[in-house]
Structure 1
Amino acid sequence: MKNRLLPFLLLLVILLSACGNNDTENATNPPEENSKSDTITYQSENGPVEVPANPKRVIVLGMYAGNVTALDVPIVGVDPWSKMNPRYKLEGIEEVTDESLEKIIELEPDLIIGLSTTKNIDKLKQIAPVVTFTYGQLDYLTQHLEIGKLLNKEAEAKAWIDDFKQRAQQAGEEIKAKIGEDATVSVIENFNKELYVFGDNFGRGTEILYQEMKLKMPEKVKETAQGNGYYSLSIEVLPEYAGDYLIVSKDEDTDTSFMGSETFKNIPAVKNNRTFVVNAKEFRYNDPILLEYQLDFFIKSFLGK
């Protein structure tokens, strides 16, 4: 009887031992479904959206191409305004709009980023996850942080923000020491035969000049442009809005004849060579790529570095 039980007992010991090893292996190696997911849930302004954890083919239908590019995330399609920006270096990237659905399908995006005003949202959602932002709802640095969260690169976005603020504020202290604490700066731009002056949150370098560097804007600009971020005016009244220093965001695609007028030439900032002319395409937005360029321009222009 003992001889018959021995093989059975040995088999039982082997089976129990195998089960124990499997339990140990399972404890140290979680099931595959519990491993890191290929997607994350981004809490957008319209609710949670499941997006790729590591997007590889992003389409930007708005003004955020510079934010995405700065975070080293591949873009396969951009809006026309971004495409024409020389600082983004988007050669070979397809130009698309919210109407070119067939082209967007061909590009096989895994994420689409747009503005709240983007058309055909429901159709775009059938192609890839869509996240939109309302322009101006977030300040310019928080906007970049949110895009960092969306692209699963929040740490990288936060590190850049902290470093940029420190450098811009330091440059502001040096500039104020040179031009005086009370010196004023205005930012103007020509567009569609109109002239505009800007507040502190509408691109064109205004966030750097006013928010970070704490340079002063003329009272007339503060009264009219701070609400909407900009104010339309005529060349005749431009001298009333011009500060001690004048930043001219020049759009070569529209009428620039105002710069040849006697009214413009007689503005003190122009007569005293305190006018800095920039390419409007390179100054229009406030993403990291353009902000870095704008900060460098201001340091060189004001400080001669």
Structure 2
Amino acid sequence: MKKTSLFLLLCLILFLSACGQSKDSSEKNGSAADDQKTITYQSENGPVKVPAHPKRVVVLSTFAGNVMSLGVNVVGVDAWSKSNPRFQDKLKDVEEVSEDNIEKIMELNPDLIIGLSDLKNVDKLKKIAPTVTFTYGKIDYLQQHIEIGKLLNKEKEAETWVKDFKERAQQAGKDIKKVIGKDATVSVLEKFDKQMYVFGDNWGRGTEILYQEMKLKMPDAVKKKALKDGYYALSLEVIPEFAGDYVILSKSDDTDNSFLDTKTFKNIPAVKNNHLFVANAKEFYFNDPLTLDYQLDFFKEKFLGSKNK
């Protein structure tokens, strides 16, 4: 009897051990299976199978802030995103890449690649990982964030942010109009390389917030020349014609800014009235959630004062 009991006890121990190992194995396999799950994203170029939970995303243009704001890991970004001072902490260990760096992108082992529709080498990129591109301006800037949310399987999170942002920006617009007057005009200027530009309502630099959400007015000349294409190139002599009662200047220290010292610029009413608000161009280029939140705070501080930030 003792031998039989001992034999049964050993069998029970072996059985329980096997069950435990089976459970551990199942859990590990389940986790691996989760990593391999895919969803089908309906891109502008047709359906694309992408990871349900991407973990290594390469962003080749514009959308790094959208991806980071949704808590998805980025392993490679474009040069403009990498040079954005507001992204430095988040991107300090992230590689700078372009669509020409095929081997470098391959080494990063991405599970998803995102970029604009004019990307080069798309066929080569698709061989590395599922690649999804967007045409800039095809949909509005907030719907663009929701689309990236869909792509990353985080649509609800994107929609929640958009709803909250619109409420905050629109309320700020009402507050600003009370201060500057409902008919006051606002222009957004930038000196890029050797050329001065004025912007419409959908070309970053805070234009989406000022004109689309806050409903502030743009000068007639800006509306006529820049609204359709998003931007318009100016000569120094005609800047006064495009300058509103308030001017947002997106300024880069890498550019010749000697125009700031000219009589033409100094005599613009907005400049003389201290209605010139200067922003760091590298922080102001984009219209992703991280940048938009910063731009909104900037406008609230400049138009309303720091206490209203």
Q: TM-score range by the shorter chain?
A: 0.7 to 0.9
2:41 equivalent in structure 1 = 42
Shift of residue 260, structure 1, vs aligned partner: 1.0
Output the amino acid matched with 1:113: I
Shift of residue 104, structure 1, vs aligned partner: 0.7
Shift of residue 164, structure 1, vs aligned partner: 0.1
Shift of residue 255, structure 1, vs aligned partner: 1.4
Deviations 1:144-198 (A, max 9, x none): 0000000000000000000000000000000001110000000000011110001
2:108 equivalent in structure 1 = 107
Q: After TM superposition, list the pairs within 5 Å mapping 1:64-143 onto structure 2.
A: 64-89=63-88, 90-143=91-144
Output the amino acid matched with 2:203: F
Runs ≥4 residues deviating over 2 A:
none
Deviations 1:97-132 (A, max 9, x none): 101111111100000001111111111111100000
Output the amino acid matched with 2:254: D
The 2-side partners of 1:291 and 1:64 are apart by 13
The 1-side partners of 2:228 and 2:297 are apart by 28
1:231 equivalent in structure 2 = 232
Shift of residue 247, structure 1, vs aligned partner: 0.3
Name stretches of at least 5 consecutive residues in structure 1 with no aligned partner.
1-31
The 2-side partners of 1:142 and 1:250 are apart by 28
Q: After TM superposition, list the pairs within 5 Å mapping 1:102-251 onto structure 2.
A: 102-251=103-252
The 2-side partners of 1:144 and 1:253 are apart by 30
The 1-side partners of 2:116 and 2:187 are apart by 28
The 1-side partners of 2:222 and 2:124 are apart by 42
1:51 equivalent in structure 2 = 50
**SS at the partner of 1:137?**
coil
Shift of residue 87, structure 1, vs aligned partner: 1.1
2:267 equivalent in structure 1 = 266
**TM-score w.r.t. length of structure 1:** 0.88
1:62 equivalent in structure 2 = 61
Shift of residue 136, structure 1, vs aligned partner: 1.0
Higher helix share: 2
1:254 equivalent in structure 2 = 255
Output the amino acid matched with 1:58: V
**SS at the partner of 1:181?**
coil
The 2-side partners of 1:55 and 1:91 are apart by 20
**SS at the partner of 1:87?**
helix
Shift of residue 39, structure 1, vs aligned partner: 0.6
Does the aligned pair in 2 maintain the 1:65–1:78 contact within 8 Å?
yes
1:286 equivalent in structure 2 = 287
Shift of residue 220, structure 1, vs aligned partner: 0.6
The 1-side partners of 2:111 and 2:85 are apart by 26
**SS at the partner of 2:249?**
strand
Deviations 1:2-30 (A, max 9, x none): xxxxxxxxxxxxxxxxxxxxxxxxxxxxx
Does the aligned pair in 2 maintain the 1:69–1:88 contact within 8 Å?
no
Shift of residue 92, structure 1, vs aligned partner: 1.0
Output the amino acid matched with 1:65: A
Q: Percent identity?
A: 68
Shift of residue 298, structure 1, vs aligned partner: 0.3
Task: Kindly name which structure, 1 or 2, has the bigger radius of gyration based on alpha carbons.
Answer: 1
Output the amino acid matched with 1:53: A
The 2-side partners of 1:237 and 1:119 are apart by 37
Deviations 1:231-263 (A, max 9, x none): 001110100110000000002111111111110
The 2-side partners of 1:79 and 1:295 are apart by 24
Output the amino acid matched with 1:214: K
Shift of residue 269, structure 1, vs aligned partner: 0.3
1:298 equivalent in structure 2 = 299
The 1-side partners of 2:63 and 2:257 are apart by 28
The 1-side partners of 2:170 and 2:124 are apart by 44
The 2-side partners of 1:133 and 1:255 are apart by 33
Deviations 1:31-74 (A, max 9, x none): x9xx9771100000000000000000000011100000000100
**SS at the partner of 2:279?**
strand
Shift of residue 138, structure 1, vs aligned partner: 1.1
**SS at the partner of 2:229?**
coil
Output the amino acid matched with 1:165: K
Name stretches of at least 5 consecutive residues in structure 2 with no aligned partner.
1-29
Output the amino acid matched with 2:287: N
**SS at the partner of 1:126?**
helix
**SS at the partner of 1:117?**
coil
**TM-score w.r.t. length of structure 2:** 0.87
**SS at the partner of 2:47?**
strand
1:25 equivalent in structure 2 = none
